[in-house]
Amino acid sequence: MTAPLIVRRKLFEQVAAHLERQILDGALKPGDRLPPERDLQEQFGVGRPAIREALIALQRTGLIEIANGTRARVAMPTPSGVLEGMLPAVRQMLSTTQGQRHFHQVRTFLEVGLARQAAREATEEHLARLAAALERNRAAIGDTRTFIATDVAFHYVLAEIPGNPVILGLHDAMSAWLKQQRALTLKTAGQDATAYTAHERIFAAIRSHDPDAAETAMADHMRQLGTLLATLDGNGQG
């Protein structure tokens, strides 16, 4: 019989796992201070380096906050904070053509869903903000840097409409990639005008509260961008 594989965990990982269980079980609540490092050393029977590494690991997950001169405190994780911790891995994914394609597929699902929901739920205030973002986008045609910023801002207004902080966190996490993507696609002559026209069509459908038209307009926008990215990759530019 083959012996079971035993996974040996480093000391700091064991400490971090124990503290994480206390936080998730509610023994330590948001705002609570963790015991002093010396007390943690005695509690777990490990040295200071293991405690420090464990606390840093928990900080990276968003479960605790560490400030100079004060004891670590249990944090209330936010969607943006959690997703920010994933950014290094996301950047690594986006360094490959396949990663770019997969990420664009995820963005398409998100954006198409947002457009459809916006057409159902957008208030007059939402529409006014979306119209203002669209006008800034139009005025930026020909100015790549400003166009990228206004492009991202237009989609951000769509992400705000559901009032869901997780969606906003996803948008924030994707913004850096979106800017890189747009910098690449906008090297193609006339792409800024093409993107603006797509935004205009999306807005018109949302203003008319037509979910099907909004979904179609956004899907067409994402499809055009995906096709352009594939072409650029094929030419060795991506």
- pLDDT-based confidence at 95, cuts 50/70/90? low
- pLDDT-based confidence at 161, cuts 50/70/90? very high
Instruction: Give the CATH number of domain 83-234.
Output: 1.20.120.530
Quick: pLDDT tens for 179-236: 877 888 898 999 999 999 999 999 999 999 999 999 999 999 999 999 998 887 655 4
Read off the tokens for 134. Answer: 């669209």
Residue 3 has pLDDT above 60, yes or no: no
- pLDDT-based confidence at 7, cuts 50/70/90? very low
Q: Name the residue ranges covered by the structural domains of the chain.
A: 11-77, 83-234
Residue 35 has pLDDT above 60, yes or no: yes
Is residue 199 within 8 Å of 77, Cβ to Cβ? no
Identify the CA nearest to 137 among candidates 117, 122, 151, 126: 151
Full-prediction pTM beyond 0.75?
Answer: no
Residue 93 has pLDDT above 80, yes or no: no
- In this predicted structure, what is the pLDDT of residue 106? 86
11-77 and 83-234 in the same fold: no
CATH classification of 11-77 is 1.10.10.10, yes or no? yes
